[in-house]
């Protein structure tokens, strides 16, 4: 049968171009709302949330190299930012010391505002492949943020610069403002080029040499980050930094069959609060639909998708292999794919993710793969597309010449995701990290954090080569074509980008520190932030920390910045995830955009009025 049911009764008024790595508006799979009522917790809290301690302009680092001055950004002159965010440094840096080097990566470095901790450097990258890390800076974890649907940037209470120096880099070559012709075919080459950039960066900003280094990112950065970390561990003299750990959220870490198609079935059908954590088997008590009302799935579709799961071997997969510790390597259902268990190899009749997507978008034209609770209207976005669809009502922020001049960027047509392939022929030939380099990275790191949002759509984005092109409905093709012109697909699961459900399954098939997978089940309701209550689940074994945040969409630092902030603090060794001493500072009632709650009483009144 055709890969999707008929798509797009719904797209008349909106340009239904789902993001894909060839589309300039795509950010791969990989934003904050008004204060919400805290979820129930086992504890009662009597404190009053305090006002945010916004960053001060204290200088925590300076650079002696005269070349650094050409990168200096005046924090009082960033367009549309009506407050002083302090000094930063940005511009292009070559990936080698070759005098004729044409390949350069764009970076934006921000010093920490934390006077107590100045020896840490966090690197952030977005995914794609080919999507700009400036999206992360402007709408996720930077010192100022511009949420969708709002008129002006605001200070970011949960800026990662509150904890550490942070380096946002547009990489690999071909991404954002970065310059040069992409010539890589795999992640080892990507990592080598990034290490070359870091070496050149440290020659100019030499005061950062010897710092503790942490690599972080989201989406396809789930591939980037482990390979970069592995390269640095295997080549310790490549850069003068001390790599300590990694942090990835909603990461692409395994094959599409595992990350999208198998979990898509449960995403649509299972209602149990922690189905994606506990990996519960199907039975008559938990078979009913977790997201049925959210997705608008009718009974006919539910019956059909259940039959697909039975036929393709997805229904009983979890029941058979959900054991702790794992009994051995997890085989994949052979009847569901041909050749490789990636996008191109999955059989049409087993394409559960696309079936769920089609059914959901038919009844909700604004179905957002990054946060499935979104409905009409589509909010405008200063970067052009806030969800699955675009909504650009002004020049893209980083396409403005005044912005480009302020941050020493070239005058080019910037787009959030590259319109060209950043890998030769659009194909990354690397093996997924959980099946290759990630065990080595975990074993050599002090801490490794893997996170996932609970309300992202569980389908993802992925590239296919020319030889692998399949027949897609026009709503999934960037150019509106149907077959030979469709180079990639954007897909959706409450993470309808990448499934939380699949994460624990990934780890079950990975061996690190001499044991395969987690040895103990992941406990539900185990991730708690005081003042919020129970936010999801957490599990820690053998230097690997896994966290799921129930009410976060795909971009964790954007949709649940308090959770991302707390886990980063853990990564940096500042606290344990079970320590709630400083949690009151994260409480969203203190969010500056919406005014400061002076007491719990005023917060409750505000909620009642709403």
- Tell me the two tokens of residue 202: 């440290």
Of 68-72, 317-321, 480-484, the range with the highest mean pLDDT is 68-72
CATH H-level, domain 66-252+431-449+509-594: superfamily: Alpha/Beta hydrolase fold, catalytic domain (3.40.50.1820)
pLDDT tens-place string over residues 215-244: 999 999 999 999 999 999 999 999 999 999
* 23-27, 150-154, 167-171, range with the lowest pLDDT: 23-27
Q: What is the pTM of this model?
A: 0.79
150 touches 558 (CB < 8 A): no
Percentage above 70 pLDDT, the chain? 72
Band (461; pLDDT cuts 50, 70, 90)? very low
From the list 268, 266, 194, 203, the residue with the least C-alpha distance to 422 is: 194
- In sequence order, what DSSP letters do the residues of 37-71 get, joined into one string? PPPP-SS---PPPPPP-PPP--------SGGGGGG
pLDDT confidence of residue 121: 99
510 touches 438 (CB < 8 A): yes
pLDDT tens-place string over residues 555-577: 889 888 999 999 999 999 999 99
pLDDT confidence of residue 227: 98
Give strand pairing partners of 247.
216, 449
Domain residue ranges in the chain: 66-252+431-449+509-594
pLDDT confidence of residue 51: 33
pLDDT confidence of residue 499: 46
Give strand pairing partners of 337.
346
From the list 397, 57, 445, the residue with the least C-alpha distance to 230 is: 445
pLDDT tens-place string over residues 283-319: 333 333 455 567 778 888 888 989 999 999 988 887 7
Q: How far is CA 290 from CA 275, 378, 454, 559, in A?
A: 9, 24, 12, 21
pLDDT top residue among 97 and 458: 97
Give strand pairing partners of 155.
144
From the list 294, 418, 312, the residue with the least C-alpha distance to 361 is: 294
pLDDT tens-place string over residues 249-285: 988 887 888 878 888 887 777 532 333 333 333 333 3
Band (152; pLDDT cuts 50, 70, 90)? very high
402 CB-side CA count, 13 A: 7
> Once rounded to an integer, what is the mean pLDDT over residues 94-109?
98
The backbone torsions φ and ψ at residue 590, rounded to the nearest 5 degrees and listed phi first, read -95, 10
pLDDT confidence of residue 228: 99
Q: 181: how many CB neighbours lie within 10 A of its CB? A: 10
Q: Which residues contact 261 (CB under 8 A, 6 or more apart)?
A: 312, 314, 336, 346, 350, 351, 352, 353
């Amino acid at each position: 049968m055709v890969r999707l049911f008929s798509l797009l009764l719904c797209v008349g008024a909106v340009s239904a171009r789902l993001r894909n790595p060839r589309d300039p508006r795509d950010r791969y799979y990989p934003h904050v709302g008004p204060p919400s009522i805290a979820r129930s917790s086992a504890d009662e809290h009597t404190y009053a949330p305090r006002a945010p301690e916004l960053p001060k302009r204290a200088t925590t680092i300076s650079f002696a190299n005269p070349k650094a001055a050409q990168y200096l950004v005046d924090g009082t002159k960033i367009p549309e930012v009506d407050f002083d965010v302090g000094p930063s440094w940005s511009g292009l840096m070559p990936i080698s010391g070759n005098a004729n080097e044409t390949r350069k990566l764009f970076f934006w470095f921000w010093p920490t505002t934390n006077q107590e901790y100045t020896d840490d450097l966090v690197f952030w990258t977005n995914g794609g492949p080919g999507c700009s890390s400036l999206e992360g800076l402007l709408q996720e974890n930077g010192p100022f943020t511009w949420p969708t649907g709002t008129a002006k940037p605001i200070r970011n209470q949960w800026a990662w610069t509150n904890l550490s120096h942070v380096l946002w880099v547009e990489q690999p070559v071909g991404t954002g403002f970065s310059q040069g012709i992409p010539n890589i075919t795999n992640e080892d080459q990507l990592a080598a080029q990034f290490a070359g950039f870091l070496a050149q960066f440290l020659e100019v900003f030499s005061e950062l040499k010897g710092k503790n280094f942490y690599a972080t990112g989201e989406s396809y950065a789930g591939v980037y980050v482990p390979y970069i970390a592995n390269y640095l561990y295997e080549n310790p003299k490549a850069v003068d930094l001390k790599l300590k750990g990694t942090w990835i959220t909603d990461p692409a870490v395994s094959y599409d069959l595992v990350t999208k198609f198998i979990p898509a079935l449960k995403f649509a059908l299972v209602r149990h609060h922690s189905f994606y954590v506990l990996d519960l088997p199907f039975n008559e008590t938990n078979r009913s639909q977790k997201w049925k009302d959210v997705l608008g799935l009718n009974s006919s579709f539910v019956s059909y998708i259940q039959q697909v799961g039975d036929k393709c071997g997805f229904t009983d997969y979890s029941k058979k292999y959900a054991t702790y510790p794992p009994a051995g390597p997890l085989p994949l259902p052979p009847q569901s794919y041909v050749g490789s268990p990636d996008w191109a190899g999955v059989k049409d009749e087993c394409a559960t993710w696309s079936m769920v997507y089609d059914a959901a978008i038919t009844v909700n034209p604004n179905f957002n793969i990054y946060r499935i609770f979104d409905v009409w209207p589509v909010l405008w976005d200063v970067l052009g597309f806030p969800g699955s669809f675009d909504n650009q009502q002004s020049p893209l922020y980083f396409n403005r010449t005044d912005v480009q001049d302020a941050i020493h960027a070239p005058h080019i047509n910037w787009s959030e995701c590259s319109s060209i392939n950043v890998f030769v022929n659009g194909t990354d030939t690397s093996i997924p990290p959980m099946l290759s380099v990630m065990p080595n990275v975990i074993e050599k790191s002090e801490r490794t954090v893997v996170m996932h949002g609970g309300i992202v759509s569980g389908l993802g984005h992925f590239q296919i080569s020319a030889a692998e092109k399949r027949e897609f409905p026009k709503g999934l093709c960037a150019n509106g074509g149907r077959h030979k012109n469709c180079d990639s697909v954007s897909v959706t699961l409450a993470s309808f980008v990448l499934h939380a459900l699949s994460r624990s399954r990934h780890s079950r098939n990975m061996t690190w520190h001499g044991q395969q997978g987690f040895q103990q089940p992941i406990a539900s309701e185990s991730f708690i932030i005081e003042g919020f209550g129970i936010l999801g689940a957490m599990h820690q074994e053998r230097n690997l920390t896994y966290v799921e945040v129930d009410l976060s969409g795909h971009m964790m630092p954007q949709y649940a910045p308090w959770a991302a902030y707390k886990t980063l603090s853990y990564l940096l060794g500042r606290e344990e995830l079970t320590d709630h001493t400083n949690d009151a500072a994260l409480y969203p009632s203190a969010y500056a955009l919406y005014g400061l709650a002076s007491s719990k009483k005023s917060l409750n009144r505000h909620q009642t009025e709403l």
